[in-house]
Amino acid sequence: MAYRETQRVRRRKAATREQLLRAAEARVRAGGFAALQIQTVAADAGLGVGTVYRYFRNRDSLAAEVFQRATEREVAALVKALAVPGSAITRLHHGLSVFARRALRAPRLARALIADPVSPEVEAQRLHYRRDYACHFRTLLEQGMESGSLPPQPAELSANALVGAVAESLAGPVAEHENESEAVDAVCRFCLRAVGAGAEIPAADAAPSLEINHEG
């Protein structure tokens, strides 16, 4: 025996893998999953095509991992935003605000996560993600309904509609906005009214300065 993987190598490999994933996500961010091409990603990462296959079984696996990472980051951001103290409505507002801002900042990515057709593998993950995502909103809506601050409504459907409204108006193909904050604000109002919390809409600056880490 003369070779055994050492710490140093393990780190380098991890770094390379990371670099590939970053390059891949950058492409998806810019052009959706259609832009996730092995040649391109390899080139971006300064590596050979074959190398990519040392790290990922195939394109779909790479896509799936990019999807999962981005997805988990989004869900985490939402959960964090919802964890704020306050009434169901206040928390919903925070959540929407964060979701909206992220969608606005990375529209292509948002659309990719929500709708880009990829492999069946990714499609399954997408379902998971969507359910998860909607689930958080749904829980909040249910809380609001129980406490009487929201009118009765099918929570599941409302949650999905919220996601659609935000995604479409801010990240859709027709989205144009002079002022980011105004747009985010407008969508939040729209959404709050939609779930029946129109009257209790907090002041415009109730959830303004939430730091957003797009990368971390």
148 is a site residue for DNA (CB under 7 A): no
Q: Which residues contact 129 (CB under 8 A, 6 or more apart)?
A: 67, 71, 74, 75, 113
163 is a site residue for a second copy (CB under 8 A): yes
190 is a site residue for DNA (CB under 7 A): no
- And the tokens for 122? 């990714």
In the complex with a second copy, which residue's Cβ is closer, 52 or 95?
A: 95
Question: What is the per-residue binding string for a second copy in 185-214, x denoting contact by CB under 8 A?
Answer: -xx-xxx-xxxx-x----------------
Q: Which of 6, 152, 173, 209 binds DNA (CB under 7 A)?
A: 6
Question: Residue 134 carries which side chain, given as an amino acid letter?
Answer: A
173 is a site residue for a second copy (CB under 8 A): yes
For 180-214, b where at least 16 C-beta lie within 10 A, e where not — what string? Answer: eeebbbebbbbbbeebbbeeeebeeeebeeeeeee
Question: What is the per-residue binding string for a second copy in 12-41, x denoting contact by CB under 8 A?
Answer: --------------------x-x-------
75 is a site residue for DNA (CB under 7 A): no
Q: Which of 14, 18, 30, 48 binds DNA (CB under 7 A)?
A: 48
- And the tokens for 180? 């980011």
151 burial level (CB within 10 Å; 0-12, 13-18, 19+) = exposed
* Least Cβ distance, residue 178 to a second copy (angstroms): 10
* Least Cβ distance, residue 203 to DNA (angstroms): 48
Cα gap 188→208, rounded to integer Å: 12
